[in-house]
A and B are shown apart, each in its own frame.
Chain A
Amino acid sequence: MNAYADGDDRALNVVYDALAPRLFGFFLRRARSREVAEDLLQRTFLQIHRHRANFLRGAAVAPWAFAIGRRLFLDHVRDRGTERRRLGERDDDGLEFLTGGSDPEAVASAREEAAHFLKRLELLPENQRIAFELVRIDGLSMAEAADFLGASVSATKVRCHRAYKALGLLDGQLRGEAPENADNGGKADR
């Protein structure tokens, strides 16, 4: 990103490859629409391009890009005049974008599990939910998530830990991983 901010346009390839899948997942999970997610992804990269001169040397790019993406998503929600849709208010679970698996029954069952998990996620206090989403789902490192949240790394860890606890992840109800593994969940792209 530093090279790109200094005017090396070819560096955009690296920035796109590092960020696009994570940002796309970020939008998809919130908007639950592939079309909207692609539109927001495109707009986010246009803003990254137009605001690149303001990117601070040596800073982590993920919190910066996610902050742009989040702002655009909030503007999108406001422009549409709709509140963020909660799972409980939908007829379907909105997870049609999740694909994969060879056994349709296992996929359906696991999709149901994922929907249930997202419902529980929605019930978390906002500061815990956002910290958890950034680290565990969006793949930011603890330091990047802390930068995004404006909190210290230790405070971010505490929020994540409480979210893990509330979601029952500490005793491996959904996955058999130790939550500390999430500390290495993302890489700082500088």
Chain B
Amino acid sequence: MSDLNDSRGARGETAKFSVPLPNPALRAALFAKIAAESAPVRPIQRRWDAAIRLGGFLASITIFTIVGGVSVGERPAGYVAAMAIAWGALFVLLSRLLVPPPGAALGPRRATLAAIVVGAPLALTVLVVVGRLLWPATASCDGPNNHSGRCFFYSCLFSAPILLAFIVARGGTVMRDVALHGAAFGAIAGCFGALLITLRCVYAVVPHLLLGHVAPVILLGVVVALLAEPILRFRER
């Protein structure tokens, strides 16, 4: 198996090395220890994970409803519907990318995670610009100076339960590229927040949408990436 196991000596003789096996007593001690403690099994964990995800989703929708729910204002109804569908589809697509490919034990590939992190704000920006081009009337849907800050806050607020659900469900488990995973969680949660704030906010000018709706996606990605090591990394139980 290994170059350490089969190496040629200076005089050309071949010496077969054997890396020793673990002590058999270790196996007995380990199995006794494991038999003495019960550990959660996958069917129960799957139900628990589904409940956490549902809880995060419902909490986010509840906050959205308390804040006031959907509001169209002077925006064209077609624009609002198209934005809701497109931003919602983006959220679903990015969430789907987070599911590891068959056979992968440690999460999606690094390139996929990076694509989620970079692609989320980029795709939202493209949708904002496309929306402006397809519905020129939205150029007049502007508001007071401080409205971008308020949307930024609400977007983060709507994203928080989804993000919390990610952290509770995945934190401390075995994953590769913890910071990238964290950034992807932040970006996807931010996308959901951006979807809800777009349903709520009646202003549709491009600078406002970029500052108040898209920027939180970037912020959440960066913040969770920075905090990923303490909150997400594998923890010995």
Contacts and interface: CB of A to CB of B under 8 A. Distances in A.
Interface residues of A, number: 75
Interface centre among B2, B174, B236 (most CB of A within 10 A): B174
B39 interface: yes
B8 A174 contact: yes
A100 B17 contact: yes
Interface string A101-125: 1010111011111100110000000
A190 B42 CA distance: 15
Task: Classify the secondary structure of A's interface with B.
Answer: helix
A150 B109 CA distance: 5
Given A41-B26, A100-B17, A174-B7, A53 B39 contact: yes
A167 to B, nearest CB: 9
Interface residues on B, range: 35 or more
Interface in B10-57: 10-11, 13-23, 26-27, 29-31, 33-35, 37, 39-45
B21 A71 contact: no
B100 interface: yes
A7 B174 CA distance: 19
A147 B107 CA distance: 8
B23 A38 contact: yes
B41 A52 contact: yes
Given A21-B22, A49-B34, A57 B17 contact: no
Given A148-B176, A151-B109, A56 B104 contact: yes
A71 B19 contact: no
Contacts of B234: 67-68, 71
A113 B237 contact: no
A59 B174 CA distance: 13
A17 B44 CA distance: 26
Interface in B150-184: 173-174, 176-177
Task: Classify the secondary structure of B's interface with A.
Answer: loop
B103 interface: yes
B1 interface: yes
Interface in A143-190: 143, 147-152, 169, 174-175, 185, 188, 190
A72 B236 contact: yes
B17 A98 contact: yes
B236 A47 contact: yes
Contacts, number: 199
A29 B10 CA distance: 23
A37 B43 CA distance: 32
Interface centre among B19, B37, B176 (most CB of A within 10 A): B19
Contact of B43 (A6, A51, A68, A98): A6
B106 interface: yes
Interface in A57-78: 57-61, 63-64, 67-68, 71-72, 75
B20 to A, nearest CB: 6
A148 B30 contact: no
A175 B237 CA distance: 42
Contacts of A97: 19-20
A6 B103 CA distance: 17
Contacts of A110: 7-9, 13-15, 17
Interface of B: 1-4, 6-11, 13-23, 26-27, 29-31, 33-35, 37, 39-45, 100, 102-107, 109-111, 173-174, 176-177, 233-234, 236-237
15 contacts: A6-B43, A25-B2, A28-B19, A29-B19, A53-B44, A56-B105, A60-B104, A106-B13, A107-B15, A109-B10, A109-B13, A110-B9, A139-B1, A152-B111, A175-B8
What 7 A-B pairs come out closest when comparing CB atoms?
A109-B9, A53-B45, A110-B15, A59-B105, A64-B105, A7-B41, A150-B110
